[in-house]
Amino acid sequence: MGRGRHSVLAAAVTVVCAVTLLGAPGTAFARALPDPAPPAAPASPSARSLPPSVTLPPDQDLEAVRAELDRLYHDAAVATDAYNLADEKAKKQSAEITDLNRKIADERRKLDGLKERAGTAASAQYRTGGLPPEVQLMLGNDPQDFFDGAGRLLQSQRATKSLIEETTRAQQDLELYAGDAADHLRELEAGRKAKAAAKKRIKQRIKEAEQLEAKLEKRQRERLAELERQAADQAQSAWLSTGILDELQGRASASGRKAVEFATAQLGKPYEWGAVGPRTYDCSGLTSQAWAAAGHPVPRTSQQQWQQLKRVDIKDMRPGDLIIYFDDASHVGMYVGDGAIVHAPRPGRTVTLAGAGSMPILGVVRPTTD
């Protein structure tokens, strides 16, 4: 449909609308569906009893407050991606170390067996007086025994050579696996440090944002929420004014429908950094779990999704595709049709619908080739 039908999805039929739109081309979405502001909570003791030195910002400065909150939460989102990536690497490295330890144990058992065989051969040589098999063969008196022994000697030489080669390979494999395990342990430790640093940064940025919000009076929090809605609406309107929705004709694939159905079923669940459900999600936790439920696992973080998944032109976008936001690919949402996305916005918010153009779009990726 054209821009003339720019409709707003009613909150009461959010899920139904999103799922219904899966089989149809993208239609107009006239007004952004901004992240709903959290319900105004009673002033906390710290907010009610602020020291005289703390000055609440006047209304005209709330735009600067909004910009600072955006910066803090964006920094937390970047750190969350770093944390999730370090966590994924740590899991992979731990699994690889476990596999290497199994291989090391197998090689040690193999090497012990080869050493035992070598010891048995040495014992047999000792029982024959320590003479090499070639000398024993030449000292024999029976010609037939000589020819029979020559055959056995050749077999013995081959077996000895094979034993030596196999023992050498086993020793080399053991050293290789041990070296790999040591490298993985160093990488795991470095990953743990990166993960801890990212976690510290996330908590610090969220704490700073919460402290900034705690200084606001109820009327200022309400005004701040309105400013956020206005900014999202303006960005969405600017995006729609390009006529982009007139070009969107893509229909959701079967797997795309399943992914959207999963994602929209999570509406209202809280955002939590590092979470992949089922009760809480961060932005890429939601999209990765939705596509896993559709039978097509995707990378865990928004940056990995941007780097590794197939990129498609925005005019070819269809429900189920992932829209990557900001120049650093620090946020991701899932397109559901009608110009909307479902996403997990940030701390203090819940999984919600929003205008696809309400944030700066970096690009679009598709988890499947169908």
Retrieve residue 74's tokens. 């964006």
Q: In this structure, how many other beta carbons lie within 10 angstroms of the beta carbon of residue 142?
A: 9
The answer to whether 344 and 286 have CB atoms below 8 angstroms apart is yes
| Active-site choice (17, 184, 283, 296) | 283
Pairing between β-strand 361-366 and β-strand 322-325 as defined by DSSP bridges = antiparallel
45-49: long-range pairs with CB below 8 Å, 24+ = 46/214, 47/214, 47/215, 47/216, 47/217
DSSP state of 42: P
Phi-psi region of 327 (alpha: psi -120 to 50; beta: other; left: phi over 0): alpha
Residue whose entry in the numeric block shows the structure tokens 């946020």: 331
- Alpha-carbon 309 to chain mean position: 12
Residue 340 sits at φ, ψ, to 5 deg, of -120, 155
Q: How far is the first Cα of the chain from the last one, in angstroms, to the nearest whole number? A: 24
Q: In this structure, how many other beta carbons lie within 10 angstroms of the beta carbon of residue 120?
A: 10
Retrieve residue 314's tokens. 């925005």
Residue whose entry in the numeric block shows the structure tokens 């012990």: 112
Active site residue 17: no
Q: Which residues contact 353 (CB under 8 A, 6 or more apart)?
A: 9, 14, 18, 33, 267, 336, 340, 341, 342
Nearest to 215 by CA among 347, 44, 346, 63: 44
Q: Residue 233 class from Cβ within 10 Å (0-12 exposed, 13-18 middle, 19+ buried)?
A: middle
Distance in angstroms (rounded) separating the CA atoms of residues 149 and 360: 85
Q: Which residues are catalytic?
A: 283, 331, 343
